[in-house]
A and B are shown apart, each in its own frame.
Chain A
Amino acid sequence: MRNIFLVIRREYLVRVKKKSFLIMTLLGPLLFVAFYGIVIWVAIGSVDTKTVQVLDESGLFKNEFKDNETLKFAYLDSSIDSAKAKFKGSEANALVYIPKNVIKEPKSVRIYAAKNVSMDLKSEIEKVIEKEIEDIKLEEAGITHKILEDSRVNVSSETISLSDEGEKTSSSGAATVIGGICAFLIYMSVFIYGTQVMRGITEEKTSRIVEVIISSVKPFQLMLGKIIGVALVGLTQFVLWILLTTALTSATSAVLSNKMSKESPEMAQEMEKVQKGMPGPSGMPGGNVENPVAEVLGAINSLNIPLILGCFLFYYLGGYLLYSALFGAVGAAVDNDADTQQFMLPITLPIIFSFVFAQFVLRDPDGTLAFWTSIIPFTSPIIMMVRIPFGVPAWEIALSMVLLVLGFMGTTWLAARIYRVGILMYGKKVSYKELAKWIFYK
């Protein structure tokens, strides 16, 4: 036991002391925060007011175009030709021309602009015109303005998950995002740390230190020590990432809301609500500003974060242990990094498949594919993490966890059999047939 601890300590310290570990640990949260900042910035920051001139010959749209943050409308009274001539000298971004017979010929509406107008502007204008024409036609058909007003409802659905704990507001959007992120992190870490184990073993083999070490430590202890050591490195990295990201995002949010309270008090309120975990504005009646970021961030708070975090750690460890043992066996079987390719494929395929399956499971988190792939140990670490934010029956999680534990015990046993023979084989290219023989050596 003392020896295995010594091995773990060495493997851990050697990696944590590396510069690349420090860089990755700092860079990860910075990238995340940069991304987070950009999303918020784009959502709230790019308030660039555009002026649109409207030449309404039909007279139907008086005051129908309402000013908002991004658009200001100015009504013109001249003829189209003089308006066009004047437009070039003005600071307006676009000129909308609505001919007299717009109701009969809706396609005759024209938008003039110095450059191409954005899709947003075009659809905004079209929407107003379409709605007005629709209203007029409906009224002509005998539907009064009042009936029309009543018939207009604003639907923003709330998904409610029914569980034993009662009804709880959930957000399939947030679940998708969180599930996706977890799956991706596990996918990446299995690859990154799995190959680290493999490299470490090949390094011991090529530098010929392995025989010295295994004259003091049992090969199995050495392999297990390395796997656990690297797992702890991964855990350290995740914990640091979570801490640093939380600290940095709070700081970023504070800075942003501070900046916004000067520029736009309304938005600052939104941000505060988001931070306090209140539901986004779209869920509230009379919410006048659509803010999808706030909705997602708000909904994330509605998820069972401790369960997700706990499961994430379990499936990260389980998935990592299952695959790193196999990576370790490959590292022991070959003489140098270049030779690993031929044995890598069967290991990487299930990981890549799980990642591909994850896209389908995101769309149908309770389907047959989702069920089976989240039970089978080789795919469960990634798929189960996709499903958990959507809510999974406890027995399915339990079964999947037990099978995962059995799975990594199995792969570790298998890897140990290959390992103990492989590490003492120098300068020999092995085939699958030989690997199989090693497994059944006494």
Chain B
Amino acid sequence: MSKSKRAVVRPLFYFTTNHSILDAHNVTLIRPLITLHFTPGKYAAHVTADYIDMNIIEVRNVTKEYSNHIALDDVSINIPKGCIFGLLGPNGAGKTSLIRIINQITGPDKGEILFDGQHLNQSHISRIGYLPEERGLYKKMKVGEQLLYLAQLKGLSQKQAMEKLKSWFIKFDIKTWWDKSVSDLSKGMQQKVQFVSTVLHEPDLIILDEPFSGFDPINANLIRDEILELKQKGSTIIFSTHRMETVEELCDNIALIHKAKKVLDGPKKLIKEQFKTHTYFVEYKGDLSGLEDIYTLTPEKELENGYRRTNIHLGETASPNDLLRDLLPRAEIRSFGENIPSMSDIFMRSVNEVPEA
């Protein structure tokens, strides 16, 4: 979204640069687009700064309180455009509360939400698609009628909805379902219908709360491919899930909420970087005695054919090359690498670090 007023005179040539401004966690806050306009007859260059909102959602200091507990405590999260964003946290952490606030089902007690740079309002409803964890369909309504109804509630006209539905029915090969009652469909089939209803109006932001629960592996794959395709087309996807393998596979950015507070957020790669323990694994044949004076070694594991596996923690000063140099005279190395923390490890560590309230 461009907010600047450009010079009326068409520049002869111009030079642009963009450098993102990052916050402490390396999350893009804004990306100013600085354009230098060189216009004939004028000596000075016009300099305009175009601020591109990189975030589809900005959650700013949001607090939500219920009568007996705090669901969100001063939470700020930015969700960059075009990414798959994992919203993680244990049960009852506040994920659903945050999602409901973004969907304008409830409002925050304090703080504000920006959608694509604007204050969240009713006009944004049609730009969001939401698949809640507690989801269902009208049991006695026919599939076609139901999808038409849900699409029209999202602002599509009957005709638009019809056209889009047709292509989805062909794509998922479910043409025969149109006149079926929802109660005649299996649970997996209902999930497909729900997914179609979530994305039919081509929303800019798709919020999926535990999307894969209840899907068999074939359908889960189908949905996963659809999600990736939607991302290709420019939609932003928020995943709320406990399934770390999904996060590992799909998410670009994550935020972790625990006990109503955000404990972690940022691009997945950077977070993994942050959680690195400077530990390397080595699979070898030989004797490593003497190394324990320099490094911290964790108990060995016997592998097949006389190989062993050991994790070695480097101190603050040592580099992996130093370690290799020390290893080479002592053993035959089959495999060597850095231990990258899995999302599951990160999740467990973050959650356990937070002191009990």
Contact = CB atoms under 8 A, between A and B. Distances in A.
Interface of A: 3, 6-7, 10, 14, 203-204, 207-209, 211-217, 219, 424, 426, 437, 441-442
B149 A10 contact: yes
A215 B137 contact: no
B310 interface: no
**Which label, helix, strand, loop or mixed, suits the secondary structure of the A interface?**
helix
Given A10-B149, A213-B153, A216-B153, A207 B67 contact: no
B128 A215 contact: yes
A6 B197 CA distance: 16
A441 B154 CA distance: 28
Interface string B135-153: 1111111000000011011
A215 B135 contact: no
Given A215-B128, A437-B67, A208 B135 contact: yes
B189 to A, nearest CB: 15
Nearest to A217: B153
A212 B130 contact: yes
Interface in B287-337: none
A37 B126 CA distance: 57
A442 B109 contact: yes
A212 B105 contact: no
A254 B67 CA distance: 68
Nearest to A222: B153
Given A14-B141, A215-B105, A216-B125, A6 B152 contact: yes
A204 B137 CA distance: 8
Interface in B99-113: 100, 103-105, 109
A217 B130 CA distance: 12
Nearest to A427: B134
B90 interface: no
B132 interface: yes
A10 B149 CA distance: 8
Given A211-B105, A215-B125, A3 B67 contact: no
B135 A212 contact: yes
A6 to B, nearest CB: 5
Contact of A212 (B132, B139, B140): B132
Contacts of B130: 211-212, 215
Given A215-B125, A426-B134, A3 B153 contact: yes
Contacts of B132: 208, 211-212, 215
25 contacts: A3-B153, A6-B149, A6-B152, A6-B153, A10-B149, A14-B138, A14-B140, A203-B139, A204-B138, A207-B137, A207-B139, A208-B134, A208-B135, A209-B136, A209-B137, A212-B131, A212-B197, A213-B150, A215-B105, A215-B125, A216-B126, A216-B150, A216-B153, A437-B67, A441-B67
Nearest to A221: B153
B182 to A, nearest CB: 9
Nearest to B105: A214
